[in-house]
Every structure is written in structure tokens, then in C-alpha cells.
Structure 1
Amino acid sequence: MAVSWSGVMPAVTTKFTKDGKLDLEMFQVNIEAQVSAGVSGIILGGTLGEASTLTTEEKETLLKKTLEIVEGKVSVILNIAEQTTQDAIKVAQTAEANGANGLMVLPPMRYKANDYETVTYFQEIARSTKLPIMIYNNPIDYGIEVTLDMFETLIKEENIQAVKESTRDISNVTRIRNRFGDRLKVLTGVDTLGLESILMGADGWVAGLVCAFPAETVAIYKLAKAGRIKEALDIYRWFLPLLELDINPQLVQNIKLAEVATGIGTETVRAPRLPLQGAERERVLKIIKEGVASRPVLPEYLNLTEVLA
């Protein structure tokens, strides 16, 4: 299916059993909850998916399982975060062969490439596959910024179609829209700027806390796009303390604890990550408990008509 690069796309967590294997049963519970809530795509193997701990075989298993679960209802996107261009191309081609609908691609890992090297890296991946690509632009966490001038070159590749905008500069949504129009779709990648980015014209939201609260996340997006800003804002204000759990080095542990609280996940992580301990665990659990206890009643949102472009 074609990727629309719009709507809410969860960067899903990877579920593990206590003995460290993939927990495909709980993984299916979560994916089905996402689809039922109205997400437009599933993104596999990102930071939240603990990609750096997954084997190539496990990534292929998760991709095939997700495609089986969603049955073509939503797009399935595989993240690429490799250490070499050769490995990135191999992942892209394998993803295409296994039925992925698109790719999200990070800059080179563990090496601070210059602008020329970064552009070349993205170009070579794009030319190796027919799959549509979203570039992940997150200089805060990954140390490399994909500038507008770099995108000017990159969009000459027809399958580079979108950017996950995570610079934390809300004005960048407008800069991208002003310079590229609809040629480059913009999806916000920062949970605490989710609503703000949508109101500034972002096409979608690659979200984290959606893993635990899919309906609330999609409702914010749908209500905002339908021009029902007050309703979206009310939900967003409730959501913000939870969303702040995403902008934290322990975001995986935080969000997995939230998934436990809403019944669609477990807190098991793969080492070197470990479950939260002590005062920090209590702090996070308090935020989650208060959020669940005050969870808002949502209006009907799935069939709203978009009026904001």
C-alpha cells in the first residue's frame, strides 16, 4: 500500500519475554490497539523499539508479524539506523523484499558525518530501493542536522518524501513548508510539540506515548486537523505530563511502564537497559498513575473531516 505520510504513526516498542525472546503475543495486542485507535502507520525498529539490541532476524520477524497483523489497514515502516552505508542498503533491500511499505532513515550512526557525507549516505540508500523514505532529522540526540539546503538536494530523489522533524525548533515546520510546499511531508517527532506542530501545518505525528495511549494521541491529531482546537487542547493539557516521559534518556523504560498501566505492554527491556529503580521509578509511576486516573472521555473522532492543511 502507498504511504500517505500523514496522521499518527507510533514508533512502537518491542516486546520481550522474561527470558529475552520476542514476545509476539503482547506485541500483537499492542499493534491491534494502535490500529483500532486509528493510527495511519506503524514504525518498527526505532529508538523505542530498542533497535540497537535487535538481530537482523528479529527485525525481519517483527516486520513480517506486523504486516500479518495489520492486514493492509495501515502502512508498515521499518527504521534504518546502521553503522555503514552497505549495511543500511542491505536492510532497505531486505525490508522491500519482505513487504515493508516504507522506510524511516537516520543519519550515519557512531560517526559525525559532514553535510556531503550525510547527503551521500541518504542518496545511496534511496537509490537502492523503490520504497518511500522519511528522513529522521534529530540533531539533538544524534548530532547531525539535515539542513534545508541538504533537503534541497535530497528531494531530487523521488522516493525521499518526508521528514521526521525533531529539531525542537517549532519554526522549522513553517520553514520546510515555505521552501518545499507539499513536496516534503512533515511529521513531528517530538511528543511535547505534537499539537503545536500540527497547528503549524505538520502533516503527521511520529509519536511515543501513543504506544500506551493510542486513542488519546489520535484524537488530538484528528480534532486539531478538524479545527476543533479547544477539544484537542483540553486532551493535550491532560497528556503533557505523560508526553514529557518521552524526552528523557530512559524513554523506553518510561513508556513501557505506561503500556503496563494501560494493559497493552510489559516493562521488560533488553540489556544494557534495565527497568527503572528507586526514586525515579516512583516518580514515573506517580505521573502514569495520575494520568490514568484522570484519563479524559474522548469525543467521537475517527470520522472527522480535516480542515487544516
Structure 2
Amino acid sequence: MQTTLTGIIPPIPTPFTPDGEIDEKAFRGQVRFLLGTGVHGVCVGGSTGEGHTLTADEFERLMTICAEEVNGKIPLVAGIIANSTREAVQRARRIEKLNVAALQITPVHYLFKPDDAATLGHFKTLTESVKPPIVIYNVVPWNYLSPALLVRIMQELPGVIGVKQSAGDLKLMADLLLDVPAGKVVLTAVDALLYPSFALGAHGTIAANPAAAPTACVALWNAVQRGDHRSALELHKRLLRFWNTIVGDNLPACVKYALTLQGCPSGAPRQPMPAPSEAQKAAIAPALRHLLEFGGGTLSVAAE
């Protein structure tokens, strides 16, 4: 199993049937589609995968399927969204038998926010209780960890190998990159600003845009790595226009629609998340077509 977390690592959407069950055939198809686009890793159970809705059994099953399909070709990241240290440990232990490169784990996300010492303790217990290394998924608005605290956790806990920095503040991303300890990684989930994130030195991304338009995001990453900023800037503009059509409270559903348009059926969202509206679909299709004209890939299914 490759373990280096770098480049484009899409969080795989979870395809559901209309009655809310997991569509395993469609899920396998998504993994194969992503592998074919040249992505550098995949993540199961993240926000784009509606991981907050998954039971422990469902999470384990999806991880098992993905490990089978990936078969060590690229790193597999397990997304764990849990409201207690104990629950996070339990989920991690259920997949210990699999080849997992890292665990992407959120700070606790319900109403009550622990202080900095308790947050450090949360991740300390996790590193002492589970085998794979941990990437902190810094996404919870009311429990958003500062760059200083993230750096402290990475310095004090060898088992925490990096941070997935979410939300739209590129200054916080830049501050984190300025002081990130040697050997640790910062992965961007600032979807609207992947290009400047990469240019600033982010080691890669786990984010919705790469799940929705993986070929274009791989092209963007490659352009930045080879110093072709003219192409990167053009891709950024097209990605941003596309992002503006899918971002919203039903983002995972819109990602699924974008994948379906590329010939990768991705199922329905899980209730109560709504499917894309007709207005959203009408905006997504042309923006995706415009993106893929430059970033590779094809719009292979006619928009409804």
C-alpha cells in the first residue's frame, strides 16, 4: 500500500438507492472511475461521502469494498466523523485489517466545544489507540482549530501526520503552511482556491471539487508541479466557475450529478438531503462542460 499523501485525493461520494440503502455496485463503479482518472489517492467516509450519515457497519463495508478495488495501487484514507473519542477509536478499530494509509478525523462536532488541552487529549488518545496515522480534518465551524493549535498537536503527537484544512480562509492556510513541522502534510480543502493553495505549497487536496471533476483537478496539480502557471490559472478560473454551481447545503448531491454527467452513475443523496434542483442542474452541466474542454475528461451523458 502506498502511504504518501500528496496530490489529488477525492473523497468518494456514497451512492444511495431511493430508499436510502447503499448501492454497492455504483460505489465500486465510482472507485474504478476515479482510478482511471489518475488520482493520487481516495478517501471514504468524508463529508462529500455523507460520512456523518453512515452507521459503523456501513462505514466498514464501504472501506472493505474500496480496499478491494484500490488493491494497494494508491493510498486509501478513512474518513471518521465522530462525536466522541471513544466512537472514533471504535470506528478506526473496525478497519484495522485493511490497508489504510491514514485516518482523516474531525474534532468533535456537536454543540459542546472542548478546550485546547482536551482537543489535544482527544488526538493523543487516538494516536495511542489506533494503528494508522491521523490527519486532522479541520472543518467544524464552531470547533475550528487555529494554526497554532494544529502546529502544537503535530509537534507533540508523532501519530498526527498532517491536517486537512477546510473552510475558505486562505490566510489561515498560509499561516499553517508557514509553520508546519518538517515531515507533516497540509492538505487543502479550500475548494474555490485549490490553485493558490498548491502554489503556496499545500501537499495536496482532499476536497469536493476533486471528487466532482477529478481529471481537471489532476491536470491542475500537474500544471502547478511543472511550473505551468498559465495553464493552472486558466484551470483555476474554470474550476471556480464550476465550484460556484455545486457549492451549497446539498453539495454531495451536486457532486453525484456531476459524476453522473461524466458517465459515472452515483446514486441519490441520503434523506433529508435534497437532490439537485432543476436550476442547479441547468447551471452545473455547462460549467462542467467548459471545465472539461480544457481540463480533460468528457461530458458523456446528456444533461436532463
Q: TM-score, normalised by structure 2?
A: 0.90
Question: Partners in 2 of 1:115 and 1:202 — Cα distance?
Answer: 25
Question: Partners in 1 of 2:184 and 2:246 — Cα distance?
Answer: 25
Name 2:226's counterpart in structure 1.
Answer: 226
Structure 1 runs of 4+ aligned residues shifted over 6 Å read none
Deviation at 1:109, TM superposition (A): 2.2
The root-mean-square deviation of aligned C-alpha atoms, in Å, is 1.9
Name 1:146's counterpart in structure 2.
Answer: 145
Contact 1:8 1:204 in 2 (8 A): yes
Contact 2:191 2:243 in 1 (8 A): yes
Name 1:179's counterpart in structure 2.
Answer: 179
Question: Partners in 1 of 2:174 and 2:48 — Cα distance?
Answer: 27
SS at structure 2 position matched to 1:127: helix
Question: Partners in 1 of 2:57 and 2:261 — Cα distance?
Answer: 30
* Identity across matched positions, percent: 26
Name 1:157's counterpart in structure 2.
Answer: 157
Name 2:6's counterpart in structure 1.
Answer: 6
Name 1:287's counterpart in structure 2.
Answer: 283
Deviation at 1:162, TM superposition (A): 1.0
Matched residue pairs, number?
Answer: 294
Matches within 5 A, 1:210-249: 210-249=210-249
Cα displacement string for residues 13-69 of structure 1 (whole angstroms, at most 9, x for unaligned residues): 001123332212111221112112121111111111111221111111110100110
Question: Partners in 1 of 2:33 and 2:19 — Cα distance?
Answer: 25
Deviation at 1:223, TM superposition (A): 0.8
SS at structure 1 position matched to 2:186: strand
Name 1:137's counterpart in structure 2.
Answer: 138
- Does the C-alpha gap of structure 1 residues 8 and 142 become closer, same or farther in structure 2, counting only changes over 3 Å? same
- Does the C-alpha gap of structure 1 residues 118 and 92 become closer, same or farther in structure 2, counting only changes over 3 Å? same
Deviates more, 1:258-267 or 1:8-17: 258-267
Question: Partners in 2 of 1:104 and 1:221 — Cα distance?
Answer: 21
Matches within 5 A, 1:1-309: 1-110=1-110, 111-138=112-139, 141-155=140-154, 156-276=156-276, 281-294=277-290, 295-298=292-295
Deviation at 1:122, TM superposition (A): 1.3
Deviation at 1:299, TM superposition (A): 7.2
5+ long unaligned stretches in structure 2: 298-304
Contact 2:193 2:236 in 1 (8 A): no
Name 1:303's counterpart in structure 2.
Answer: none
Question: Partners in 1 of 2:127 and 2:27 — Cα distance?
Answer: 29
SS at structure 1 position matched to 2:129: coil
Cα displacement string for residues 94-153 of structure 1 (whole angstroms, at most 9, x for unaligned residues): 222333221001001213222222111111111112211111112xx4311222332343
**One-letter amino acid of the structure 2 residue matched with residue 283 of structure 1:** A
**One-letter amino acid of the structure 1 residue matched with residue 238 of structure 2:** W
Cα displacement string for residues 234-276 of structure 1 (whole angstroms, at most 9, x for unaligned residues): 1221221222245421111221221221121334111122323
Contact 1:267 1:275 in 2 (8 A): no
Deviation at 1:180, TM superposition (A): 2.7
Deviation at 1:297, TM superposition (A): 4.1
Question: Partners in 2 of 1:178 and 1:59 — Cα distance?
Answer: 35
Question: Partners in 1 of 2:108 and 2:295 — Cα distance?
Answer: 41
Contact 1:242 1:291 in 2 (8 A): yes
SS at structure 1 position matched to 2:120: helix
- Does the C-alpha gap of structure 1 residues 224 and 273 become closer, same or farther in structure 2, counting only changes over 3 Å? same
Question: Partners in 2 of 1:169 and 1:297 — Cα distance?
Answer: 27
**One-letter amino acid of the structure 2 residue matched with residue 271 of structure 1:** Q
Question: Partners in 2 of 1:77 and 1:85 — Cα distance?
Answer: 19
5+ long unaligned stretches in structure 1: 301-309
